Amino acid sequence: MLTKREATLCLSCNSAVKGRADKKFCNDYCRNEYNNGLKSDTTNLVRNINNALGKNRRVLETVITTNQETGKTNAEKLLAKGFQFKYYTHTYTNKKGDVYYFCYDMGYLSLENDWFLIVKRKEENS
């Protein structure tokens, strides 16, 4: 015997859903809107951090000219260009115990009197 099933409501707009019994959304727009809404807080946080990391990398890149491997600058110049010291992707500690902070492949080492040594990580051949 066939039974009449209750109308399912769209999880996004609450309109009636037609079609398969397990269908949750009335159309692709509602499905995308619902799923994007679930991820928006996390996505915005990650997007903002990635933007800050990218900007930090670009700022470090401006210190090194094309024919140099390293460069030096001070904190004031980095901050003036929008550098944010709290954002970095990873650290590297050398044998002497010096800690380099990296934004992807561009890094910096804190020196005396708010000066920084800027380095670019060398490509590793695999």
Give yes or no for residue 98 having a pLDDT over 90: yes
Beta strands in the chain (DSSP E): 8-9, 16-17, 70-74, 90-93, 99-103, 106-110, 115-120
What are 4's two structure tokens?
């009449």
Per DSSP, what are the bridge partners of residue 16?
9
Per the structure, the count of domains in the chain is 1
Q: Quote the pLDDT of residue 78.
A: 97
pTM of the complete model beyond 0.85 = no
Per DSSP, what are the bridge partners of residue 91?
101
What mean pLDDT, rounded, does the chain reach?
A: 90
Q: Is residue 3 situated within a structural domain?
A: no
Q: Which domain holds residue 113?
A: 25-120
**Is residue 117 a contact partner of residue 70, using CB atoms and an 8 Å limit?**
yes
pLDDT tens readout for residues 16-54:
999 888 999 999 999 999 988 887 767 788 889 999 999
